[in-house]
Amino acid sequence: MSICESAVEPLSDAIAGSGDTKILRRVFSVRSLPLGIRNDRYLIELECLRGVAVVLVFVFHCWGIMGGKEARPGGVFEVIAATGNTGVTLFFVLSGFLLAQPWLRYYFGMTNQTPSLRRYIAARSLRILPLYYAVIGFAAFHLDSSSLLLPAATFQMLGFQYFPYSTVWWTLITEVQFYLALPICGFLLIYSRMTRILLASLLALWLICFLIFVIGPKEPIEGFMLTKSLFSRAPAFLFGIVIGALYLNNTAQTFLTTKRRTLTLAVALTALYYLLYLISRTSSRETETLWPTLHLWEGLCWALATFAIANGRDAFRWLRVLERPLAFLGKISYSIYLLHVPILFYLIYPATSKNTASTVLVLLALAGAVLTVLASTVTYLLIERPALQLKGTLGT
């Protein structure tokens, strides 16, 4: 999840003004969106897709906390709410697309600058560690439990041991595993013909093991670590890398005419909705049995949609209406992602045990959305933005 301006306004200035009562608007303007990355490589379409991803995950957890997962989904919104965790797969696709770019650009001869492992590690650390460590520190303080701080800080699987804070932490562990594997694969790709053969052999070995141990079983896979690891979720990242390579290929971009981009997007989203509909209609046990195959097709659908949108700014002008709000949510999506579950849980869950009317629960959910965005704006300004400002000086 990555999101350069010359100065970082302190939070007090952003709220109070300092002679300008609209600094917050400037901070979150379209002009200031590419914070932490090079402006010439910034795609606002992908920022919007981050916004879509985090909204899906938010709605999914909100639906679950409100007790919606106990009911059989009926309408379109209910289907999307019940399967909104598909946003995680979209995040993985976007990570593959964006983070592989330096190696792909070098491989295609678009730059003579060999990707720097030192800058890569520094950039990834600045992107995820400051806010993550702040959140796990607050969780340990709030839950009065410091015994799991070290495991959490070193990205070990905790499951729900720091509930409700740790509910989404497994995805960061999977991301970090990808962060570690990517430069190895990247340098094998660009070093020599022999290392590319080695890379192809390693990927073939992974594919064989994936088909045998993940796709093959007809019973739910045992082991939380296996089901949530890079080993099992690699297809989404790989699909992202593939469309990232196609994005850099002029032939592929020429092939995607406006009509073909629209058709690709329509087919991808239709197939994705049908897949989510099937997931929403299956029992939890069936879903656990089928999830590897479902995630595989889900990742492919998101990859096709991402490729069409990334190449089709002129083709999808109707998206401009949603561009600013989605880009804003995409910009603070990391904060939203880490903060929304505890906010929703402590706000809504007590009311569910009192047989509260559904209207009240919906109002609480809306209040939770507002509080989440406000809290995420604060953590973005205080924690994320300074780190992204520093990240932007690395040239990555």
Residue 228 has pLDDT above 60, yes or no: yes
Res 167 pLDDT > 80: yes
In the structure encoding, which two tokens stand for residue 390, read together? 């520093």
Please tell me whether residue 119 adopts helix, strand or coil conformation.
helix
| Pair 170, 151: CB distance under 8 Å | no
8 Å CB contact between 238 and 96: yes
Cβ–Cβ < 8 Å for 85, 280:
no
Average pLDDT (352-372) is 88
Q: Which band of pLDDT confidence, cut at 50, 70 and 90, is reported for residue 6?
A: very low
Eight-class DSSP state of 295: H
Would you state the pLDDT for residue 45? 87
Q: Tell me: pLDDT of 210 over 80.
A: yes
Q: Is the pLDDT confidence value at 32 over 90?
A: no
Cβ atoms 95, 178 nearer than 8 A: yes
Interval 326-352: pLDDT, tens: 989 999 999 999 999 999 999 999 888
| Rg from Cα positions in the chain | 21
Cis? peptide before 164, omega within 30° of 0: yes
| Tokens 């497994």, located at residue | 170
pLDDT > 90: percent of the chain: 56
pLDDT at residue 114 above 90? yes
Q: 10 Å Cβ neighbour count for 357?
A: 10
More confident residue, 321 or 246: 246
Q: Is 66 helix (H, G, I), strand (E, B) or coil?
A: coil
The pTM is what? 0.89
Q: Which is higher by pLDDT, 358 or 26?
A: 358
Q: Which of 12, 5, 54 is nearest to 33 (CA)?
A: 5
pLDDT tens-digit map of 89-110: 999 999 999 999 999 999 999 9
Please state at what angle helix 44-65 crosses helix 358-379, rounded to 10 degrees. Answer: 140
Place of tokens 């890379």: 199
User: By C-alpha distance, which of 310, 258, 351 is closest to 66?
Assistant: 351
Quick: pLDDT tens for 10-24: 333 333 344 444 555
pLDDT band at 26 (very low <50, low <70, confident <90, very high): low
Average pLDDT, integer, range 357-372: 92
pLDDT in tens, 46-63: 999 999 999 999 999 999
Question: What's the start-to-end Cα distance of the chain, in Å?
Answer: 14
Whole-number Å distance between alpha carbons of 312 and 314: 5
Helix axes 333-352, 320-331, angle to 10 degrees: 80
Evaluate whether 307 touches 263 at the Cβ level (below 8 Å).
Answer: no
Tell me the one-letter amino acid at 138. F
Using CB atoms within 10 A of its CB, is residue 143 exposed (0-12), middle (13-18) or buried (19+)?
middle
**265-274 burial: b if 16+ Cβ within 10 Å, else e:** beebeebbbe
Q: Cα-Cα-Cα-Cα dihedral of 314, 315, 317, 319, to 10°? A: -120
